[in-house]
Structure 1
Amino acid sequence: MCRTVELRQAVLARNDDGARELRAELAARGTVAVNLLSSPGSGKTALLEAELGLARRRGVPVAALTADLATENDAVRLARSGAPVKQVLTDGLCHLETAMLREHLAGWLPPDTRLLFVENVGNLVCPASYDLGESLRVVLASTTEGEDKPLKYPTAFGLANLVLVTKADLAEAVEFDEAAFLASVARVNPGVEVLFTSARTGQGVGVLLERALAVLDGAAVHRPVMAGTAAASHGHAHAAPSPSLHLSSAHASSSAHGHPSTDGHLSADGHSSTDGHSHGHGHGDGHLHGGDHAHGDDHAHAHGPADGHAHPHARVAEPS
């Protein structure tokens, strides 16, 4: 049993090493990655579509990679925004890992991309433990899901840099208890910013773009402390960011940002030991290279044999 735990911890450690490397490489090309996590049906895709459309209208170079077990439906919807979009089909795997993300960014991510939105698989369990090299982790929950959602999924909410409540227009109809929800969030992630949105009415549309642009401009983001949750013992990169990730609420203008276009260099070789949360956005030159990175199981969730880690490689389908 101890051997299994150690092996799973090693798998997460390897993923975190890759995430630190990818984060640094994205920063060197002037790109910030935003990891979006939620349950299925939260309204994540609808909100992201609205945010991408707004970014395009404001001249912000954005791209989106969306992951799902099957169908290209989400990519088709997001592509209506006019932003570059790629669909990753995971063949049943319930989360993305850094090696998978790197593989699908290679040769695809436009060189002038300033914000990369990663719509993770609809799941608040498996994806929570995997750092994808993001600079901003956002967890979404709809008003229809109940006020105790953060208490049921403390790892996901406890590691969030920002929490968005979706379908705010339905709050009254479903008797959503806002105070109870905020109290639940505060128990697992004290001090994290919680914002209310509705893709249908337009309420709060643009706040995700504003927060992401603020991080791109070097603003500090909330530092999760994982108070009272089991995830505090994971030693995960998100539980102990560098000093650049201090508690704050970023309130930046969402106007277009004229960062110079650059080419990043995403190599697939060894995992760097650089600090995992160095979020400067320097402007380097280079290229995106694919690579074969070993990836395995979350030590907290059983997705298959712990010794084999034979996850199927995700397929990519781009909307026509």
Structure 2
Amino acid sequence: MCGVCGCSHQGEHHHHHDHDHDHDHHHHREGHAGHAPHDLVRIEKDILAKNDAYARENRERLKEAGVFAINLVSSPGSGKTTLLVKTIEMLKSTVQVAVIEGDQETSLDAERIRATNVPTIQINTGRGCHLDAHMVGHALDSLPLKRNSILFIENVGNLVCPAGFDLGEALKVAILSVTEGDDKPLKYPDAFAAASMMVLSKIDLLPHLDFDVAACIAHARSINPDIAVLQVSARSGAGMVGWIDWLLNPSERAGRGAEGAVHGNA
């Protein structure tokens, strides 16, 4: 989170756009460069306030365009891109889909998404560990936003920093692979506190793992009592119909931060 977490962004973003980014790279700690801890608090507030202002602009823009935006957060290797590809394949005959793909480097995931023939914008953050609302706003300039469509924002693989940055999305979905351990909601509480949905992915591997599904759900709900939970396997298809129904049905998302309905075009 830049001055907040120490990640470096300036000059590191690549996604077919240029922008100046308001990240301060000085680590303001007591005894370092003469700065006291209250300087760090001020910098944190400044960074987040600027981000929130951009997020409000994005949210209003998406609302006016009739676009339902979902911010997908997870650690690396959770199966986020595989789930997204399967989701697009199941959705695209019913509703228009677009994707903003965030990674530190490469366009490998974006190429997988583009193979589904949906509009996709790649953002590379370099040493940056998360997307922010300013980057997303620029990406929106390059995306054809269709009314009653879904925009998936696949954040950089990281369960820490993305939780603190509003991108202007309707809601966050935390994706947790069963290969990661059932204690992750307790270790990274902010990600699950901010999420409306926890998707447990790769459940086809459960017979080979010591992953306690009930304990994981209990841990997540001890942090966020209202979090919805789905268990899915993009490879076997288990749970995918429930995931698609949740995405398309506003009553399923009621009370969980979603704005508006998504209507099919078929």
Fold in common (TM above 0.5): yes
1:11-60 per-position Cα deviation (integer Å, ceiling 9, x unaligned): 112211221221111111110110000000000000000001111133x1
Q: Whole-Å Cα distance in 2 between the matches of residues 207 and 27 of structure 1?
A: 25
Structure 1 unaligned runs (5+)?
Answer: 224-243, 246-251, 260-320
Structure 2 match to 1:8 = 44
Q: Residue 193 of structure 1 corresponds to which residue in structure 2?
A: 228
**What CA distance in whole angstroms lies between the structure 1 residues aligned with 2:98 and 2:148?**
7
**Corresponding pairs, count:** 229
**8 Å contact kept, 1:53–1:83:** no
Measure the CA separation in 1 of the matches of 2:86 and 2:157: 18
Letter in 2 for 1:173: H
Residue 219 of structure 1 and its aligned partner are, at CA, apart by 5.3
Q: 2:70 matched to which residue of 1?
A: 34
The 1:131–1:54 alpha-carbon spacing in structure 2 relative to 1, beyond 3 Å, is same
Which of 197, 217, 235 aligns to 1:182? It is 217
Q: Give distance in 2, aligned partners of 1:170 and 1:177.
A: 12
Matched with 1:133 is 168
In the alignment, is residue 106 of structure 1 matched against residue 141 of structure 2? yes
In structure 1, distance between residues paired with 2:245 and 2:119 = 19
Relative to structure 1, the CA distance from residue 12 to residue 206 in structure 2 (aligned partners, 3 Å threshold; closer, same or farther) is farther
1: CA distance between counterparts of 2:45 and 2:68? 27
Cα distance, 1:158–1:14 mapped onto 2, change above 3 Å: same
Instruction: Indicate conservation of the 8 Å contact 1:165/1:196, yes or no.
Output: yes
| Partner residue, 1:50 | 86
Alignment counterpart, residue 147 of structure 1, candidates 161, 179, 182? 182
Q: Distance in 1 between matches of 2:239 and 2:158?
A: 23
Match of 2:256 in 1: 222
Q: In the alignment, residue 32 of structure 1 is paired with which amino acid? A: F
Q: Report the AA paired with residue 70 of structure 2.
A: V
Q: How many Å separate the matches in 2 of 1:99 and 1:175?
A: 41
SS of the aligned residue for 1:172 comes to helix
CA RMSD of aligned residues (A): 2.2
Query: Quick check: 6-15 or 144-153, which moved more?
Result: 6-15
1:61 corresponds to = 96
Greater share of residues in helix: 2
Structure 1 runs of 4+ off > 4 angstroms?
A: none
Task: Provide the residue aligned with 1:257 in structure 2.
Answer: 264
Contact 1:50-1:81 within 8 A present in 2 as well: no
Identity of aligned residues (%): 40
Instruction: Tell me the TM-score normalized by structure 2.
Output: 0.80
The gaps in structure 2 that reach 5 residues or longer are: 1-36
Residue 58 (structure 2) aligned to one of 16, 19, 22: 22
CA distance in 1, matches of 2:153, 2:146: 17
Partners of 1:64 and 1:7 in 2: CA distance? 31
Q: Provide the C-alpha distance between the structure 1 equivalents of 2:107 and 2:68, rounded to a whole number of angstroms.
A: 24
Superposed CA deviations along residues 248-304 of structure 1, whole A, max 9, x for unmatched, are xxxx9x9x6249xxxxxxxxxxxxxxxxxxxxxxxxxxxxxxxxxxxxxxxxxxxxx
Letter in 1 for 2:236: T
Higher relative contact order (CA 8 A, sep 6+): 1
SS in 1 for 2:179: helix
Cα 1:84–1:49 change in 2 (3 A) is same
Residue 220 (structure 1) shift: 2.2
